[in-house]
Amino acid sequence: MNWAQILFNSAVTGSLYLISAVALTLVYGLAKFPNFAHAEIMSLGGFIGFWVTEQLGAPLPVAFAAAFLVAGIVGYLSYRGIFKPLTDRGASLIHLMVASMALGFILRHTIGEIWGFSPLTLSIVWPAYDIGPLRVTLNWIILIITAVAVGIGLHFMLTRTRIGKAIRATASNPRLALSSGINTTRVLVITWFVSAGLAGVAGLFRGVETRLSPYLGWDILLPTFAVAMLGGIGSFYGAMAAALIIGLAENVGVVLLAEAGLSTEYRMAIPFIILIAVLIFRPQGLAKAFKGN
């Protein structure tokens, strides 16, 4: 068994979950509800990347920038047009959740009407390298580097910048933050934009790995929620640690399933088995191990 390859594959899987989960948990930390439209925003990012590279002929870095920008704008518009008005009128948690499901449904079918519901594939061919016992591809390396950059960048933003400190203050106590002179609406706008933008980037990475379909985001939404809950929903640092744990568990689990003669399709159940086991003994997830987020 090539454990070096398994660990590397775990880092790749964990990196994808890290980008999508920190985006999800940033919004939850402030808005206090799970945004189910996160899945379709990921899908949108993937299709925007496809449009930029395959139909406009632009290079891939431009596609990632476009995926971030367009998804971020959709996140901003959804906050301004749907979730802020609902919150101002005293909408409950269930109202916000249902609204996010409705938004996701609309986005999914809009994507389908524009690009179709049949799977699409990016024509990019990635070079592969043999490094000792490892077989790696350039897109995997870029994904890991991007995830590390996202983690370091968000840590720097949350701890060293005024907007980051305002985000933490608003997440901790919105009324106190507002009375202290923090523009909480501006904080929420920026958070929604950044979160949705990162979701778009995660969706494009997923599209590069597999194939694009309007259900692309839905396929990774459930593991993303598992990561967010395992880390302690709303906890940025907890989500980072949980992404690596879930990534490792999935890849080791696939090997163990194959050796046991079982279908590897069970891999999607692995995050939830871990989640249930951890939450039975530690309902708060890993959040308390990562204070200060």
Overall fold of domain 3-289: ABC transporter involved in vitamin B12 uptake, BtuC (1.10.3470)
Burial-class residue 7 by CB neighbours within 10 Å (0-12, 13-18, 19+).
middle
Q: What is the pLDDT of residues 186-235, one digit of tens each?
A: 999 999 999 999 999 999 999 998 889 999 988 888 888 888 888 876 67
3-12, 108-117, 259-268: the lowest-pLDDT one: 259-268
Whether 76 and 236 have beta carbons less than 8 Å apart is answered as no
> Which residue has 């069970």 as its token pair?
266
Look at residue 64 and tell me whether its pLDDT is greater than 90.
Answer: yes
The pLDDT-based confidence of 143 (bands split at 50, 70, 90) is very high
Burial-class residue 288 by CB neighbours within 10 Å (0-12, 13-18, 19+).
exposed
Among the listed residues 195, 194, 175, 178, the one whose alpha carbon sits nearest the alpha carbon of residue 25: 195
pLDDT at residue number 287:
62
Among the listed residues 107, 104, 114, 144, the one whose alpha carbon sits nearest the alpha carbon of residue 50: 114
pLDDT at residue number 291:
47
The domains of the chain are located at: 3-289
Look at residue 87 and tell me whether its pLDDT is greater than 50.
Answer: yes
Among the listed residues 157, 220, 190, the one whose alpha carbon sits nearest the alpha carbon of residue 18: 220
Q: Which helix (H) or strand (E) holds 130?
A: strand 128-131
Question: How long, in residues, is the chain?
Answer: 293
pTM confidence score: 0.90
3-state secondary structure of 128: strand
Average confidence score pLDDT of the chain: 88
Distance, in Å, from the CA atom of 69 to the CA atom of 198, rounded to the nearest integer, reads 9
pLDDT at residue number 263:
75
Which residues, 6+ apart, have CB-to-CB distance to 106 below 8 Å?
none
pLDDT at residue number 145:
95
Taking the CB of residue 267, how many other CB atoms lie within 10 A of it?
A: 16
- The more confidently predicted of residues 87 and 258 is 87
What is the dihedral angle through the alpha carbons of 139, 144, 145, 147, rounded to the nearest 10 degrees? 120
Which residues, 6+ apart, have CB-to-CB distance to 226 below 8 Å?
242, 246, 271, 272, 274, 275
